[in-house]
A and B are shown apart, each in its own frame.
Chain A
Amino acid sequence: MIFGLAALLLANAATILGANALRRRFCTESPGSELVHLLLFRLLLISAAVLACGLLRVLNATTLAAVSVAALVPLVLLRSHRDLPRLPIQGASRPVLIAFALVAVRLLLQVWIFAPHQGDAVSYHLPKMAEWIRAGAFTRELGAHSHVTFPGGFELVETWWTVFLRHDVLVEMAGLEFVLLAAAAVLVIARRCGLSDRAAAFAALFFVLTPGFHLGATSALNDAPAAALTLAMVAMVLDGSPLPLIVAVAGIGVGVKPTFGFALTGVALLLLLQKRLTLAELARAPKPAWTCAVFGLAAGSYWYLRNWAWFGNPFHPLGTPGFQDPTYVQFGPRWMSLPQNLASLIDQRIYDSAGIMNPNVDHMAGWGAVAFACGLVALVDACRESSMLRRVTAAVSVSMLTTMLFVQNDAWCLKYLFYVPAVLALAAAWRMDRTPELNPVGWLAAAFCFAMTMVSYDLPMSRAVTLAREPWRTRSLTAYSPRTGSADSPDDAVGYYGSPIGPSYVLYRPDFSRRVVYFRDTRADLLLEAMAREQIRDLFAPAPTPEQKAVLEEARRSGRLQERDEVWWSRLP
């Protein structure tokens, strides 16, 4: 563990110094945007490192530590540790700084206490990471869910925070990186929109407390990171960042989540409005910066190329003939989706009153009290008086409408729009800067958002308190069994034969010490044979499909499989 911790620190130091060296090489920036550039270059380096190690089958702490040490020596000699950007909070008022500190401490506590708990995370985001870490390489086995082949750009960052300790206690740190990125991006946008330093800090605080975004950051989901990258692109366009770097972020973003691509329409509009899509602008970019663009595009397109190579379809399983998705995802534009999504946002979901807040914002928008109470009213004034805020609002609106065109109106469709409340946060901060009498309402709304984001639907307070009392080494939802509270298997290798959307990640244990074998057999004798071959005794089968249920029943009737409780089955000798 000591070695893992040292390796984690060394590797993070190397990526920060490396990112700082790249930032100084390629960016001529205004004060405030240094942090955005640093975080984006770091993200690029982390993605490249994990991708390379995964492909070369050396995805482990030792290799990454060795590479980090090798990189650190020249970086220190080149004095890359100098001119590290400061936190761009100059001019922020003391109450805002205290609020930021409070939010940061709580986020760190949440990272420490929370075990991966969110349904999508434990069913298809994290099982692939667990397989990679166990194998020390990228694997063909990614889990049982039909969405496991979706792009895994965010999982690369989660792997980074997990591989050194070989433990998932810090896995949510990946989300925190994007909270910091979003806050820094909102600060840049705010300053470019003419907000004072004080108001810009207010806007960043307001946005960070957006409930859907905030809970998403500590739930191992990729919607908050995609929103942060969208805001980073807006900030870079406004700040005059070199075009190749904007292209690099677009590449990374598409690798994090395909829905990020829908927001690019608004970014393109902003580039046009800012007169940045010109030959002169292209010529102004430093030539080596195009290398970054190539790296960003390569990191993002890897997942699509992999799917193309494996399945002949870059978007697999979407668009595959005959594919029936247990969790349907719209593929391509559909005109009816736009009015349906818009109407449900305006008429119902913006009130956030349909249930306990959660990172998937089921039947809600997750935009929070600040956006709803202060932002909507303030936007009227802000758009009236600030041409730059009008531009940003127009760009974000175009991104929002495009996204709504491409996603079906399901319970969680608005989680793809977590970047939109940034405009409302900017407007609210802009208005309050001009009318200090409005500040108490802003603070009340922000406090309410803080209360909303203590815990989520997927991890209520009682469960969070229980997790907090557990030793960190064993802190996991495994012990509770995700569905029934039944006892976990004592074996170091178990099988999974349950619902395709079941929580298979919890089986791996927090230190990835358990092997999980996914069975896909359609006959009882084949299943039993496969279990014997893999030396698996216990089978985890939560909510099996009717076909799986029939196979399990047949195996039970044969006397070779015993139903232990609602989710566990045991093979008899």
Chain B
Amino acid sequence: MDNVLEVWGDTGEVVQRPFTAEEQAQREADADAQAKAEAAAISKAQAEAAARDAAITHAKSLGFTDEMIAVMYPNLAPAS
């Protein structure tokens, strides 16, 4: 498919063409990097959620209620 649009600002020339082999390879590299970044973000979010839940569980084991935890640690909302 001709998914690439190339524009020359000085002459006004416009060409629509398919990806070159080099551009296609770069797109695949971009996709891999994006997938890794998303996986890392998900992993980080899951770790943070687990830490929040553990902190809440520990606070409750010490006798604190949800209301008390919310007042003392307003950023410590349950993950779900």
Q: Do the two chains belong together in a single complex?
A: no
Give me the interface of A with B, judged by CB distance under 8 Å: none
